[in-house]
Amino acid sequence: MDGNGRWARRRNLPRTAGHTEGEENLAAVVRLAVKREIGWLTVFGFSTENWVRPRLEVRHILGLHKKLFGRVAELNELNVRVQWIGRPFDSPEARTPGYVQKAIIKAINDTAANTGMVLTVAFDYGSRAEIVHAAEAAVAGGCTRVTVEDLDKGMYLAELPPVDVVVRTSGERRISNFLLWQSAGARVYFTEQTWPDFGAPELDAAIAVARQ
Ligand code: FPP
């Protein structure tokens, strides 16, 4: 969801205003995705690399995650099940603060019975750390020859299906440390729109790319 900062700068607003608008837009995109009958939507909310951002910006983004995970009534109305991927809370490197952990756990529990789209939020997430985690789990489980299937099973969310299309906003034309294992063979959709301006035309274009 790139481009919140650029969206704000163009309007002479602080970067945090761009993130606030980005969270609102995510709620709108979730509603649209449900209408389009998308089964799985995974978004990159906060990466393991994002902790180096200015303290106030980090605090603001964490607050927005609490807000997003608090949208349980809305998500239940949409029959959306929430999931999360990131460094397991009990791992030594994990940095998710307690209040965000609580919001994540509550949202997962309170939407667990929903049977529609699965919305997975990546928070304190890095794909390479996830692959290392899967390899460590395989070794700890006694594997002497690690297979693709072993690593599949060791991903943070083994139920996550292979990615159909990776969406990159705001003119960024590179892959980041996001679902690298799961996106083998995925299509990629690039758009110039900043995340807060990402809407139905872009979602439909991404779906069309996925179906090519
Ligand atoms: C990328 O824009 C955005 C982030 C790293 C922040 C996280 C995303 C949001 C707050 C929107 C969705 C909300 C939730 C709670 C999942 P940037 O800051 O890199 O902007 P720039 O590329 O223009 O500098």
Q: What would the mean pLDDT of 140-146 be, rounded to a whole number?
A: 90
Q: What is the pLDDT of residue 72?
A: 98
Mean pLDDT across the stretch 12-36?
98
Distance 135 CA to ligand 1 centre (A): 30
211 — phi, psi (to 5°)? -90, -5
Strand partners, 46: 123
> Helices 15-35 & 200-211, crossing angle to 10 degrees?
60
Confidence of residue 105 (pLDDT cuts 50, 70, 90): very high
Which single residue is written with the structure tokens 């799961």?
182
pLDDT bin (cut points 50, 70, 90) of residue 144 is confident
Q: Is the dihedral of CA 178, 181, 184, 186 positive or negative?
A: negative
Entry field: residues in the chain:
212
Q: What is the pLDDT, as a whole number, of residue 143?
A: 85
Which of 166, 210, 211 has its CA nearest to residue 191? 166
CB atoms within 10 A of CB 92: 5
- 21 Cα: distance to centroid of ligand 1 (angstroms): 10
Averaged confidence pLDDT in the chain? 97
Could you give the percent of the chain with pLDDT greater than 90?
A: 99
Active site residues: 2, 50
pLDDT of residue 10: 97
Question: Taking 90 as the threshold, does the pLDDT of residue 102 lie above it?
Answer: yes
pLDDT of residue 3: 98
Over residues 31-57, the mean pLDDT reads 97
Mean pLDDT computed over 149-157: 96
Whole-number pLDDT of residue 157:
97
Residue at 86: amino acid letter:
G
User: For 97-111, what is the mean pLDDT?
Assistant: 98
Q: Where does ligand 1 bind, in terms of residues with CB under 6 Å? A: 1-6, 19, 22-23, 26, 43, 45-46, 50, 61, 64-65, 68, 121, 170
> Chain centroid to CA 67: how far?
15
For the segment 49-86, what is each residue's pLDDT rounded down to a tens digit?
Answer: 999 999 999 999 999 999 999 999 999 999 999 999 99
Closest residue (by CA) to atom 19 of ligand 1? 2
Overall pTM > 0.85: yes
Closest residue (by CA) to atom 15 of ligand 1? 65
